[in-house]
């Protein structure tokens, strides 16, 4: 459906949750998939679960030189880089008085600096090709905020700013830049939460359910494909109309 055959896609945070489901979906649509994870063992495990049909790397996303070297290795192997999905991230829900400065810095490093580093590393290759797609994982809290854990929504507001600004800067090179803003998604983290916390949240969602990782993967598939060839600079909410 999405005509992604032989496209090369890099997915950060691709070893679990939304990233892992996205890797599966791109494989099903015949793309060449490269997953990035935080540790060698998590990358190896994810590769095995995907029947070793993907490549895997674990560079430090806050070390630009390390990322640049890894991206060149991927380009030299495949000859092109078509899609980057900046999905790696971390959340936090501490009250402001409980957040340490290093907690805030860590969130910004992974949720914002890593997006910058990865994008900066792939853009020269996409410019040379005169085409490419960069997709970022935002969040519904980038639109609504959240009652505690200010670092997480702050980082996702920044991701939206990067998305919209790069979309304007790179359009002349036929590089599209968009973001997906998930709502409450059934990941390991959400599944571990008590029912008494989750059920009231579900009642606020007009569609009457929390999302599945596949819902987000489908949004990434669409935005990566030629079906979205005239869409750039968009923050696509995939949240069942949560809190709207």
**Rounded distance, CA 189 to CA 222, Å?**
26
CB 210 within 8 A of CB 201: yes
Express each pLDDT in 6-46 by its tens digit: 999 999 999 999 999 999 999 999 999 999 999 999 999 99
Tokens standing for 176? 């599209």
**pTM greater than the 0.85 cutoff:** yes
| Mean pLDDT of all residues in 196-209 | 85
Residue 129 neighbours by CB under 8 Å, 6+ apart = 80, 81, 82
| Mean pLDDT of all residues in 122-144 | 96
Smallest CA-to-CA distance from 14 within 217, 219, 224 is with 217
pLDDT at residue 144 is higher than 90:
no
Of the pLDDT bands very low, low, confident and very high (cuts 50, 70, 90), residue 193 is low
Percent helix, strand, coil in the chain (nearest 5)?
Answer: 50, 15, 35
- Just list the catalytic residues: 152
User: φ, ψ for residue 135 (rounded to 5)?
Assistant: -125, 140
**Rounded distance, CA 145 to CA 152, Å?**
9
Q: Which domains does the chain have, with CATH numbers?
A: 8-238 (3.40.50.720)
């Amino acid at each position: 459906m999405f005509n992604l055959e032989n496209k090369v896609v890099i997915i950060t945070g691709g070893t679990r949750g939304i990233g892992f489901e996205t890797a599966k979906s791109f494989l099903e649509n015949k793309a060449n998939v490269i997953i990035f994870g935080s540790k060698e063992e998590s990358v190896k495990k994810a590769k095995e679960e995907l029947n070793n049909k993907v490549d895997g790397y674990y560079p430090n996303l806050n070390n630009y030189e390390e990322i640049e070297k890894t991206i060149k290795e991927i380009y030299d192997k495949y000859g092109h880089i078509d899609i980057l999905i900046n999905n790696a991230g971390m959340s936090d829900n501490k009250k402001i008085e409980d957040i340490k400065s290093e907690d805030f810095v860590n969130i910004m490093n992974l949720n914002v600096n890593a997006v910058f580093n990865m994008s900066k590393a792939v853009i020269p290759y996409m410019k040379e090709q005169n085409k490419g797609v960069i997709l970022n994982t935002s969040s519904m809290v980038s639109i609504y905020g959240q009652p505690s854990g200010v670092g997480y929504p702050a980082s996702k507001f920044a991701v939206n700013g990067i998305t919209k600004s790069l979309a304007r800067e790179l359009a002349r090179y036929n590089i599209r830049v968009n973001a997906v803003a998930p709502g409450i998604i059934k990941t390991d983290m959400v599944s571990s939460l008590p029912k008494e916390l989750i059920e009231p949240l579900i009642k606020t969602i007009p569609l009457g359910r929390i999302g599945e990782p596949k819902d987000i993967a489908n949004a990434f598939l669409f935005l990566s494909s030629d079906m979205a060839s005239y869409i750039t600079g968009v923050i696509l909410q995939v949240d069942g109309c949560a809190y709207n």
